[in-house]
A and B are shown apart, each in its own frame.
Chain A
Amino acid sequence: MNTRVMTPLAVSAYTAVSALGNGRQGHARALAEGRGGLRENDISSAPLACWIGRVPGIEAHALPEDMAHWDCRNNRLVHMGLQADGFIERVRAARERYGRERIGVFMGTSTGSIEATEAGYRQLEDGRLPAALRRPGIHSLHSLSAFTAEYLDLQGPALTVSTACSSSAKVFAMASRMLALGVIDAAVVGGADTLCDSVLFGFNSLELVSKRPARPFDASRDGLSLGEAAGFALLERTDAAPDAPRLVGYGEASDAHHMSTPHPQGLGAELALRDALARAGLDAKAVDYINLHGTATPKNDEVEAALLARTFSTRTRASSTKGYTGHTLGAAGIVEAVVALTAIEHGLIPGNLGCDEPEPVCASHLALQAEHRPVHVALSNSFGFGGNNACLAFAHARGAGA
């Protein structure tokens, strides 16, 4: 791979909604206090004994009337997420500055609005989906991006990335390429996934779900906790937002190993990490914090712990935040990008919630409790089924050495 150093982009607005709350403040506070959002599963049609990161209030949340054709749990979550942190106002300003055809929408998801399709199959009318759910748009995986573009009145490229759990990390790469190409001047990137039977019973069938709250990197971990979330970031050239934190690199690579287990030596994960550092023009030594994929499955954390230990000194602090939010699948990339950006803006290294007895190989890298220290460069790892790996690099506006 001949990776060239990229021109950094400003992350001029960002926000997320997850089991930790709606907006950046709620997330920063919960992470600083070490307070997680997991609860006992109370959502699926035949509840499995497990813990979930559920977002309260989705059921009662209504889309604006003129958007009713997009109504479904996933798009309600998208709409909820867009309301926080002045995100819509910043997008409106960008639309006025660049024109709506010069802003792209790139969203990641694993299962989109399949929850609405599942609901339809539970209430078939003469073998057909019930009339209220006969809306082709919500049965397309592209539903969340089409809704986001229509709601924000944006007319540039609109794409959905669905590479399982790396989806909403890879949207940053896609937006960067479109900006570099000159096709757009700004991009709304993000992702959303909602809790649904497909993922609860699906991950359960693969025996990857813990009966207890997820314990990433704990020696006794025995599986993940699923969660739901949505998150968004607005990317622009740095002159438009000189003080905003920056996307300085992205990396993408494939394991070429197995559909549902990671490469035993973490080959794809390491290639993605090195690709991100090369694109950022940074050495591993410059990294202050890394938000790990850390799903709390035995295999993922074993492979990722070894990668962490062989790549970084203990000066680089690391944690998984899936003990707070659960594994939000296609939304994990954006939620954890928001955590990495929060680390930079607040000088806050989140503690690795759920881990009492850390994997020995990475024990001295892991922040078990929140730590307060300056973060100039933060990475976020996202790995998906099918061996699909992505890594993002963010930096403080004043640069890596600020």
Chain B
Amino acid sequence: MSTLAPIWIEGIGVWAQGAADWPSLRARMAETRAEPSDDECAGKPAAALLAPGERRRAPISVRLAVEAGAQAVAMSERDASTLPCLFSSAHGDSGILDYMCATLAEAPRELSPTRFHNSVHNAAAGYWTIATGCHAASDALCAWRHSFGAGLLEAIGEVLSGGQPVLLVSYDVPGEGPLGEMIDSRAPFGCALVLAPAQSERSLARLDVRTGPAQAVSSAQAPFLRWLAERNLSAGAAPLLEALADSGSHTLEMPAAPALGLHIAMEVAP
């Protein structure tokens, strides 16, 4: 059991079909309807931060991560070029992995070089640092079913050890092809938080985190968040996002590894 120093959330970004930013997700959370409509499912992350050429080359997972990250940084009013960034994703771009495995099985010499370099798990971190001119540390991680909680713990570690704000982005896209059956991902979802080591006029919430044995995991109440959490491992963030939408005190249990939990006491500003 370890008690960590407090940290503060300064920015929130989200993208889901039918909830393209934090205000829309808050509105969507109030609805009793869970499933997005066909029109909502046609939406794609804008990722306006990317230069047009990069945006054309970027796979959908990168556009999703960049969109969520850009929203969170804009809300925090921090300078993305100096902000260490950490991208967590259970499966990265599983659509590209499906393409690669299918091509390698049939015509390996025809593998596309662009899709190969886009297949690296740190593609989102690469495109993000290029778009923002960021020379700080960038990270790309995963922890399968615990990717959000593990990413949050690592991001807190970076905030506290470096004494500086850090951007955390967690995102997953739907699995495709035969690999898709092995992947617990059936809807796109990305979220991002700017975390800081001290309170400021931009603070949205204070988090006091204790690590310890895994407990019964908290789950969100809003039908849409529950729908997402069943279809996307990055939506492990759902209970934290739901708490952020409601000023006051909250306690949450989030898993960071099979036997390790994060006990989070949150104080959300009005």
Contacts and interface: CB of A to CB of B under 8 A. Distances in A.
A120 interface: yes
Given A2-B164, A183-B2, A162 B117 contact: no
Given A141-B121, A156-B257, A198-B119, A161 B135 contact: no
B192 interface: no
Contacts of A385: 117, 120, 122, 126
Interface in B31-67: none
B135 A206 contact: no
A386 B123 contact: yes
A152 interface: no
Name the residue among B143, B156, B164, B184 with the largest chain A CB count within 10 angstroms.
Answer: B143
Interface in A93-141: 101, 110, 114, 117-118, 120-122, 124, 127-129, 134-137, 139-141
Interface in A126-184: 127-129, 134-137, 139-142, 145-146, 149, 155-164, 170, 173-174, 176-178, 180-183
A269 to B, nearest CB: 11
Given A117-B101, A198-B116, 6 more contacts: A45-B104, A124-B178, A181-B4, A181-B160, A256-B129, A256-B135
A127 B98 CA distance: 12
Contact of A177 (B140, B158, B256): B158
A145 B143 contact: yes
B161 A180 contact: yes
Given A155-B257, A156-B260, A128 B181 contact: yes
Interchain residue pairs A-B with the least CB separation, the first 7: A386-B126, A162-B121, A252-B137, A202-B116, A155-B259, A177-B157, A121-B101
B100 A198 contact: yes
Interface in A199-231: 201-207
A101 B119 CA distance: 33
Contacts of A258: 130
A262 interface: no
Nearest to B127: A259
Contact of A159 (B100, B116, B137, B141): B141
B135 A267 contact: yes
Interface in B226-270: 256-260
Contacts of B181: 128-129, 134
Contacts of B157: 174, 177-178, 180-181, 183
Nearest to B151: A159
Contacts of A384: 120, 122
Contacts of B138: 163, 252, 254, 386, 388
Contacts of B23: none
A196 B220 CA distance: 41
23 contacts: A101-B260, A120-B178, A134-B182, A140-B90, A140-B183, A141-B142, A155-B259, A156-B257, A162-B141, A163-B122, A163-B140, A181-B157, A182-B4, A183-B2, A183-B153, A203-B116, A205-B112, A205-B113, A206-B116, A253-B136, A259-B130, A260-B117, A386-B126
Nearest to B161: A177
B9 interface: no
A271 interface: yes
A45 B162 CA distance: 46
A44 interface: yes
Interface of A: 1-2, 4, 44-46, 101, 110, 114, 117-118, 120-122, 124, 127-129, 134-137, 139-142, 145-146, 149, 155-164, 170, 173-174, 176-178, 180-183, 197-198, 201-207, 252-260, 267-268, 271, 384-388
Contacts of A162: 92, 120-122, 140-142
Interface in B133-170: 133-144, 146-147, 150, 153-154, 156-158, 160-164
B25 interface: no
Contacts of A118: 101, 104-105
B176 to A, nearest CB: 12
Contact of B134 (A158, A178, A256): A256
B132 A256 contact: yes
Contacts of B132: 256
B259 A101 contact: yes
Contacts of A206: 113, 116-117
Nearest to A136: B182
Contacts of A388: 122, 125-126, 138, 140
Name the residue among B109, B141, B162 with the largest chain A CB count within 10 angstroms.
Answer: B141
Contact of A387 (B92, B129, B153, B164): B129
Contacts of B90: 140, 142
A101 B213 contact: yes
Contacts of A114: 97, 100-101
B217 interface: no
Nearest to A206: B113
A159 B126 contact: no
Contacts of B163: 2, 4
A128 B125 contact: no
B206 interface: no
Contacts of A44: 108
Contacts of B146: 158
Contacts of A201: 104, 108-109, 111, 116
Nearest to A207: B113
Contact of A181 (B142, B150, B161): B161
B141 A386 contact: no
Contacts of A207: 113
A188 B32 CA distance: 46
A205 B164 CA distance: 40
Contacts of A198: 100-101, 104, 116, 119
